Structure 1
Amino acid sequence: MKISPATRARPREFDGSTPAEIAIFEAVEHLLRVQPLQDVTVAMILAEAGLSRANFYHYFANKFDVVAALVYRLFDDSYASAAPWASAPGKSRAKSIGASLQRTLDLWSEHGAVICAVIEHMHSVPAIAKAWQSAFDRFVATVAEQIEYERQTGAAPAGTDAQSIATMLVCGVERTFYVGSRSLDPRLPTPDDAVESLVALNFSAIYGRHPQPGRSAKKKRQSKPGLIEDSGIAALEVDEIGVEAPNQTAESILRATNELLLEGSLDELSVARILERADASRATFYFYFANKDEAFIALFRAAAAQVVSGMQRLAEFDREHPERITAMVASWLDLDDMTMAVIRNAVHEWPRRPELRNVYLASVNAMAGYLQRMIEGDRAAGIAVGGPSAPQFAATLIWTIERTVAGALANEEHLEDFESVKAMLGTLMTSSIYGR
């Protein structure tokens, strides 16, 4: 395998097979199994690999360069034979796409530490983003071509742009396998726990219906939809996210922070800029917040409460006519610019910021709880089709939505039109839960 010249600017190209390169790859992968990438240093890599600094810099510019090279290597090796893109669209490709899900699962199981590090830094390190995007785009193109084939043969209906649907589906695999690998979601403790739900979502997104149309958990309606009994799974309530009403001084600091996030990213933000915008002293800032991250988390708590409340309303409204869900989802994700600036930064930063991650996961858990109760109630009422386990299905659907929204807010290819993305997500929720 040749490393793409775009990955690094080195004196010459390397094929990733020299003893020194292999030793560096193995050292980095071993270190990532015990600590996050931000804590790994070149000195640690040298000690683990038994190489000199000159050996390292002959091949790589920095630790991120190594991870980017590893991504190319892992995907080339894992899909060297029977890759889904190696066959023409049709039945053989459909089978190879299904088989590739198992290969992807095996890849995550064996090299999850590396891939998780990639997910956590792809929005902040261009070299890693480029390497990951190369693999991501290949899967998107393959699935999109198959969707177009299914539409041309009349097996799948026309609808949302095939590339957008494919991107959403690949987003779902990426995010659910990530949270499963990191054991971040109690409903998806391993990547394997998402597979059945991912298959169901793929079918619904492509064909606009459930794999078993018309089948419900119970055919006789037992309760009015929208009036959902407690499922026994404790969904985090909105007030448990920890929103606190700030006083006027703290509010001015938070407002200044939020305004600056409209103009740039959290990484670009500094306490000095916040103080200048808020016209506050350094002592005042540190009286209320330990650092900029703490101020951002305060903003995110309020934004998360708003988003979770939207999911709660979705779960509680009368779903006698499920087709209304598409409009409800669009309304749920229709946030003002200030809130959207906070959400945009949160969806990109939470994987690599531990304090933010805890609050973020609590909010996702709350939404998954409401969605689970909605699915269970509507299956019992006979208006939702049967399918994968409700806890796993709810979590897989929520994480697919979360990652797709993250892509849209990052202006990723095929997700640039946020209005279309919201409609697509609403359609996915309707078809996957209600079979139409």
Structure 2
Amino acid sequence: MLGLREAQIATLLAQQGYDAMTVGDIAQGAGITRGALYFYFGSKQEVVTALVARTVEHLWERSRATAQTDDPRQAIAAAMQRTVELWNEHGLIMRTAIDLSLTVPEIGELWKHTADLFVTAITAVLERAGIQAGTEPAQASAMARALCWMIERTFYHASQESREQLQEASATCEHIWLTSAGLST
């Protein structure tokens, strides 16, 4: 049910925001009755959680190949380009997930798991670039965690501005990642 109605639900989120949106609004926007909506979901929180779950699944599917590229420079460039594409396509849902991650435990867990997957991918790229494995501040895992959250926050803010701001955010994050990996020119 959700797959066919994601665009309508995203439009409602954009127009009304999560707090103002009601189950009745969701049902009407999706072109179904409240009863039909309740057949699938118990609340608006469940609807949005399902939407976030589908979005993060899509994020990971689209991002898997990046970590497998042998050349760290190419992997970083591809990762940043893919990040721009994903924020262009799913920015509203991603911002909603971030906004709700502290108050809706299910969304918080989905977002944290997604970040952990990206941290693992970033760690692999840093290690291929010669950064020592480990969790100390100058080691790959710790650096990857900081890079992941920095990229998330930078794109969160840029996505509220424009596609051009996303490109600028990408260039800046790519430069910082390359510098952190010892690959800047």
Q: Does the alignment reach a TM-score above 0.5?
A: yes
Q: Could you say which structure has the larger radius of gyration?
A: 1
**1: CA distance between counterparts of 2:60 and 2:99?**
23
Aligned to 1:22: 3
Matched, 1:128 2:107: yes
Q: Whose helix proportion is higher, 1 or 2? A: 2
Determine which of 168, 186, 194 is the counterpart of 2:146.
168
**Aligned partners of 2:3 and 2:79: how far apart in 1?**
26
Alpha-carbon RMSD: 2.8
For residue 174 of structure 1, what is the amino acid of its counterpart?
E
Aligned pairs (5 A) from 1:332-351: none
Check 1:127–1:81 CA distance in 2 against 1; reply closer, same or farther (3 A cut). Answer: closer
Q: Quote the Cα distance in structure 2 between the aligned partners of 1:180 and 1:159.
A: 27
2:13 aligned with 1:32, yes or no?
Answer: yes
Out of 164, 174, 178, which is 1:199 matched to? 174
* Deviates most, 93-102 or 77-86: 77-86
CA contact (8 A) 2:27 2:37 kept: yes
- Going from structure 1 to structure 2, the CA distance change for 1:161 and 1:58 (only over 3 Å counts) comes to farther
Cα separation, 2, equivalents of 1:85 and 1:100: 6
Q: For residue 23 of structure 2, what is the amino acid of its counterpart?
A: V
- Structure 2 stretches of 5 or more lacking a match? none
Q: Counterparts in 2 of 1:1-150, with a 5 A limit?
A: 20-80=1-61, 83-84=64-65, 87=68, 90-91=70-71, 95-150=74-129
- 1:211 is the counterpart of 2:181: no
Deviation at 1:178, TM superposition (A): 0.9
Equivalent residue of 2:121, what SS?
helix
Cα deviation for residue 49 of structure 1 reads 0.8
* Distance in 2, Cα, partners of 1:23 & 1:81: 20
The 1-side partners of 2:62 and 2:148 are apart by 20
> Aligned with 2:15: secondary structure?
coil
Q: Quote the Cα distance in structure 2 between the aligned partners of 1:177 and 1:196.
A: 11
Amino acid at match of 1:206: A
CA distance in 2 between counterparts of 1:68 and 1:132 reads 10
Q: 1:112 to 1:121 in 2, by over 3 A?
A: same
Work out whether residues 46 and 56 of structure 1, in 8 Å CA contact, stay in contact via their aligned partners in 2: yes
Residue 183 (str. 1) matches residue 161 (str. 2): yes
* Mapped contact 2:14–2:92 kept (Cα < 8 A): yes
Residues 295-322 of structure 1: CA distance to partner in whole angstroms, max 9, x if unpaired? xxxxxxxxxxxxxxxxxxxxxxxxxxxx
Deviation for aligned residue 1:143: 0.8
Distance in 1, matches of 2:73 and 2:43, equals: 40
Query: Are the aligned partners of 1:144 and 1:163 in contact in 2 as well (CA < 8 Å)?
Result: yes
Q: Return closer, same or farther for 1:66/1:177 CA change in 2, 3 Å cut-off.
A: same
For the Cα contact (< 8 Å) 2:126–2:181, is it kept in 1? yes
Q: Which moved more, 1:22-31 or 1:133-142?
A: 22-31
SS of the aligned residue for 1:190 comes to helix
Query: Hey, what's the Cα distance between the residues in 2 that align with 1:206 and 1:86?
Result: 14
Alpha-carbon distance in 1 for matches of 2:75, 2:129:
15
Q: Which amino acid aligns with 1:84?
A: A
Runs of 5+ unmatched residues, structure 1: 1-19, 213-436
Residue 189 (structure 1) shift: 6.9
Superposed displacement of residue 85, structure 1 = 6.0
CA contact (8 A) 1:25 1:66 kept: no
Deviations 1:232-260 (A, max 9, x none): xxxxxxxxxxxxxxxxxxxxxxxxxxxxx
Q: TM-score, normalised by structure 1?
A: 0.38
Q: TM-score, normalised by structure 2?
A: 0.83
In the TM superposition, what are the counterparts of 1:325-404 in structure 2 within 5 Å? none
